[in-house]
Amino acid sequence: MKAFDKTRLFCFLICLFIIIFDQATKWSILAFLPRGQVTKICECLNLVITFNKGISFGTLAPDTLWQFYLIIILTILCILFLIFIFLKMKNIVEQVMCSMIIGGAIGNLIDRFTHGAVVDFIDVYYKNWHWPAFNIADSFICCGAIYLMLFNLLSQHTK
C-alpha cells in the first residue's frame, strides 16, 4: 500500500472514530440523562440535554420545514466541499485536521436526520455566564478548524 493510501485510510479512520464517538456519547446522554435535568460535573461543567435546530450556537434556527431542509442541504454541500479540499491536500497534518471537521459535521448531520436537531449536552459556565451548549462533534469541528488555521498561518510565516 502506498504512503498516500495509508494517509487517506488513517484519515478515514479518524473521521469514522469521531462519528462513532460522537454518536455514542449522544445516545448515552439521551438514554441515561433525564430531559430537563442539569447534572453538575464540577464547578464549571454541567451535562444538560438541549436540541439545537439552528447552526452554530443555535443561530438561524429554522421556522419552517423548507428552512430545516435548507440547513441539511447546506451541511451536505459543506461536507462535500471539505472532502474535495481534503483530496487536494498534500500535508498529513492538514488532512487530519480536515478529517476532524468532516467527522464532526457528519456526526451533527446524523442528528438532524434522526432527531430533527443536533443533540447538545456539554454546558461550560463561569458563575452566571454559560457558553452555548455543545457536543463532541462540535469540539472536533472547532479544534480541527482552529488547528488548520494555525497550521496554515505558521507554515506561511516560516516561509
* Active site residues per annotation: 120, 138
Contact indicator for 135, 122 with CB cutoff of 8 Å: yes
Contact indicator for 86, 144 with CB cutoff of 8 Å: no
